[in-house]
Amino acid sequence: MAKFYPLKVKEVRKETADCRSVSFDIPEELSKEFKFTQGQYLTLRTEIDGEEVRRSYSLCTSPLDGDLRVAIKEVPGGLFSTFANRELKAGDVLEAMPPMGNFFSELKPENEKNYVAFAAGSGITPIISILKTVMEIEPKSTFTLFYGNKYASSVIFKEEIEGLKNSFFQRVRVFHFFSREIPDIDLFHGRLDKGKCEALFKGIIDPRNIDEYFLCGPEEMIFSVKEALEEVGVESKKVHFELFTTGNGKKKKVRVQREENKDKVCEVFIKDGGNSFGFNLPFDTESILDAALARGADLPFACKGGVCCTCKAKITEGEVEMEVNYALEPEEVEAGYVLACQAFPKSPKVVIDFDEAL
Ligand code: FES
């Protein structure tokens, strides 16, 4: 069962005017639970003004650094991000779930791979974790980073990126793009979109020579870069992507009940932490996660938007359909995994196992 553990904040560091990185003290007895892979994220939970708030944030460190650290950019009106940027301090305690996510590829010292990453804004967070780890583990691999921001002043981890470029100058290339500033070279002005990719493919990289792509940023960027890669024949298995978490962790997933589903009810059985419980859920009403939470279950979730993967579970009997899925790989869906926040019953009985997802 994925559960929350109280972690003490070790340091809150200002990265830019509206971004703080937060590191945690990991007690010896939790070192196994909080081991992570580059590109993973933490789901954090706290109470703000009497309300439970949970959010997922990507780790920005390498697993080899011995530093468990996430970066949190303040979003206008964002409850957790405003709290983290303005109030959180060393010594405070937040609750955290063990690291999760599959935004990574397996690294091996003998690999000689070419990696390319496209990041926008705080999408740099998991990318810098991947970049640092690749450099440390694969001495023969190269890494090209295309990083988009509004202004030069909004570049997160600016010095760290420069440091990596200097330390690994034969293997790391970094190109910055600004949408609200006019750099000297026209190519570096504007957003990372399909047109920009086409220009980059002419002069900076040969997209067919790249072994792994990592994309992290808002939906428009991800989908336009993916489309540009598909058009030049890059296989989709080489393209890994992570969307920004867009949900607010409270929104209920509702959908319009289809005529053919009126009067249909599913018997849902939830397995979690070795326990199981069941309830009846009319078709097309609530997601399985919402329905279980409403009945008092304590299940893992964060975004409720099909993005973060925290609510991953396995269907061991019956069938469900997902509204959206930005988090699971096709092979996982094939193997029966679902995002419970997006799962609506499709058969009269569904057994969903959260323990199988770990
Ligand atoms: S809670 Fe984030 S994908 Fe379901």
- CA of 309 relative to ligand 1 center, distance in Å: 5
Residue 337 Cβ contacting ligand 1 at under 6 Å = no
Residue type, 149: N
Q: What's the CA gap between 88 and 90, in Å, rounded?
A: 7
- The predicted model gives 9-26 an average pLDDT of 97
Share of the chain above pLDDT 90, in %: 83
Tell me yes or no: is domain 5-96 CATH 2.40.30.10. yes
Residue 311 Cβ contacting ligand 1 at under 6 Å = yes
Q: For residues 288 and 315, is the Cβ–Cβ distance under 8 A?
A: no
pLDDT in the model for residue 250: 66
Residue 303 CA, closest ligand 1 atom number: 2
Q: For residues 213 and 188, is the Cβ–Cβ distance under 8 A?
A: no
Residue 339 Cβ contacting ligand 1 at under 6 Å = yes
CATH topology classification for 259-357: Ubiquitin-like (UB roll) (3.10.20)
Confidence band of 204 (pLDDT split at 50, 70, 90)? very high
- The predicted model gives 34-56 an average pLDDT of 94
Share of the chain above pLDDT 70, in %: 97
State CA 248 to chain mean position distance: 14
- The predicted model gives 186-195 an average pLDDT of 94
Residue 306 CA, closest ligand 1 atom number: 3
pLDDT in the model for residue 248: 56
- CA of 306 relative to ligand 1 center, distance in Å: 5
pLDDT in the model for residue 10: 98
Residue 340 CA, closest ligand 1 atom number: 4
| pLDDT, tens only, 277-327 | 999 999 999 999 999 999 989 999 988 999 889 999 999 999 999 999 989
pLDDT in the model for residue 243: 86
Average pLDDT, the chain: 93
pLDDT in the model for residue 2: 64
CA atoms 195, 239, 324, 222: torsion sign: negative
Angle of helix 194-203 relative to helix 219-231, nearest 10 degrees, comes to 50
Q: What's the CA gap between 192 and 209, in Å, rounded?
A: 20
| pLDDT, tens only, 221-267 | 999 999 999 999 999 999 999 987 655 566 777 778 888 888 899 99
Domain ranges of the chain: 5-96, 114-243, 259-357
| pLDDT, greater one: 56 or 245 | 56
| pLDDT, tens only, 265-289 | 999 999 998 889 999 999 999 999 9
CA distances from residue 249 to 31, 78, 80 in whole angstroms, order as listed: 27, 12, 11
Residue 54 Cβ contacting ligand 1 at under 6 Å = no
- CA of 202 relative to ligand 1 center, distance in Å: 38
Q: What are the φ and ψ backbone dihedral angles of 351, each rounded to 5 degrees?
A: -115, 125
Q: What's the CA gap between 140 and 146, in Å, rounded?
A: 20
pLDDT in the model for residue 257: 82
- CA of 342 relative to ligand 1 center, distance in Å: 8
Residue 301 Cβ contacting ligand 1 at under 6 Å = yes
> What CATH code would you report for 114-243?
3.40.50.80
Residue 309 CA, closest ligand 1 atom number: 3
Q: For residues 166 and 173, is the Cβ–Cβ distance under 8 A?
A: no
Residue 307 Cβ contacting ligand 1 at under 6 Å = yes
- The predicted model gives 183-207 an average pLDDT of 94
pLDDT in the model for residue 262: 86
pLDDT at 168 over 70: yes
Query: What's the alpha-carbon Rg for the chain, to the nearest Å?
Result: 21
Within the chain, residue ranges assigned H as helices are: 79-86, 124-137, 158-167, 194-203, 219-231, 288-294, 330-334
pLDDT in the model for residue 333: 95
Residue 289 CA, closest ligand 1 atom number: 4
